[in-house]
Amino acid sequence: PYVFAASRLAVEEHLARMGLEAEVTTLWASSFNRIRWALPANPPRVSVIVLPRSGERLRRCIESIRILTMYPELEIIMVDDGGFRPPMRDLLRERAEWLTVIENRDDLSDSAQRNVAAKAASGDVLCFVTDDIEVLSDSWLHDVVGTLQYPGIGCVGVKLLYPDLLVQHAGFVIGMGGTVGSPHRFAFHRLGSGYSGLLRLAHCPSAVSWACLAVRKDAFDDVGGFSEEHFTGMFGDVDLCLRLHEAGWLTGWTPHAELIRYQLPQDGGMIDGADAIRIDRDIRYLHQRWGKWMEDDPAYNPNLTLAHESVSLAWPPRRPFA
């Protein structure tokens, strides 16, 4: 037990030297430390921006955010592109008191819809979510905003879970599988520790998923928001995170904000026609723009494989022996 106490004290003293207010606790059944960041007296306003696709998914998403989120300064925004059917329009009208709907009938890409909503947002923090997520706890946004309070953190991702509570997303690795991968996917339960404890410890991956991505509004504006030219539907989240890195910001990830992500069967189905051409173009530009990161993600151990998401040793080695 004295080792746990000494470990906790070391973190507490480090935070005190940095002048940061936080509570340090030892995670149950481990020697890991959790930092609960203190929110300022006047917490930053958060604009939750939802990308709508399905009426049934949207209902579950916005109601879980509205009912479960205890964060004091919150607004929920979404864009109506003119494609909503009458049942969805009725759903939105019933929630008009606390849901802001922006009408824009232009043919907008996913990235463009997010940018349009961001311009209308009043928050100091933008939290982008897809409509297939469901909030699990009332403190998720406290953990996200608290992590953003750490100096140098520009955006934050969360632990995304499949409905059976297996891990779907705990940060991206650039270059995995030839594009971008999510280590730990399918292989670990919600309560699992993961490789070297990464599923229970806050850390800084190179990028996180825009299925739930919170970013400082000033940092988002400084880098020009999501790319509407090159990454219209895929890799827009990765591109934003890497451009934030270029501007001097880090990407954070917190395991203490957990959300379920439901995906329809067609979400991962066969892609052909114009969509296939667009995705191929996005992949080629990903390699062109971020080739250095694709070859050597600085947030991923160079002794681990990029061939798949198993977080296993690379063979043959990716680096020559000294």
Tell me what pLDDT residue 203 has.
94
Tell me what pLDDT residue 271 has.
58
Q: Rounded to an integer, what distance in angstroms lies between the CA atom of residue 230 and that of residue 224?
A: 13
Tell me what pLDDT residue 265 has.
45
* 8 Å CB contact between 282 and 155: no
Closest CA to 57 of 190, 179, 211: 211
pTM score, two decimals?
0.92
Extract the runs of DSSP E, i.e. beta strands, from 162-298: 167-169, 173-174, 180-181, 212-216, 250-261
Closest CA to 149 of 39, 69, 295: 39
Q: Rounded to an integer, what distance in angstroms lies between the CA atom of residue 84 and that of residue 218?
A: 31
* 8 Å CB contact between 184 and 167: yes
Tokens 């003119």 belong to which residue?
82
Extract the runs of DSSP E, i.e. beta strands, from 41-108: 46-51, 74-80, 99-103
* 8 Å CB contact between 206 and 172: yes
Closest CA to 287 of 171, 156, 177, 182: 177
Tell me what pLDDT residue 54 has.
73
DSSP letter for 166, please.
B
Reply yes or no: is the peptide bond before residue 72 cis, omega within 30 of 0. Answer: no
Q: What is the dihedral of CA 85, 87, 89, 92, to 10 degrees?
A: -140
Per-residue pLDDT of the chain (322 residues; tens, 9 = 90+): 888 899 999 999 999 999 989 999 998 878 899 999 988 889 999 999 999 877 778 889 999 999 999 999 999 999 887 777 888 888 888 898 999 999 888 888 899 999 999 999 999 999 999 999 999 999 999 999 999 988 899 999 999 999 999 999 999 999 999 899 999 888 899 989 999 999 999 999 999 999 999 999 999 999 999 998 888 778 999 999 999 999 999 999 999 999 999 975 445 555 556 677 778 888 999 999 999 899 889 999 989 999 988 888 988 888 776 6
Q: Rounded to an integer, what distance in angstroms lies between the CA atom of residue 304 and that of residue 318?
A: 8
Q: Give the gyration radius of the chain's Cα atoms.
A: 20
Tell me what pLDDT residue 278 has.
78
| Single-letter amino acid code for the residue at 291 | G
Tell me what pLDDT residue 264 has.
54
167 forms bridges with which residues in the sheet? Answer: 161
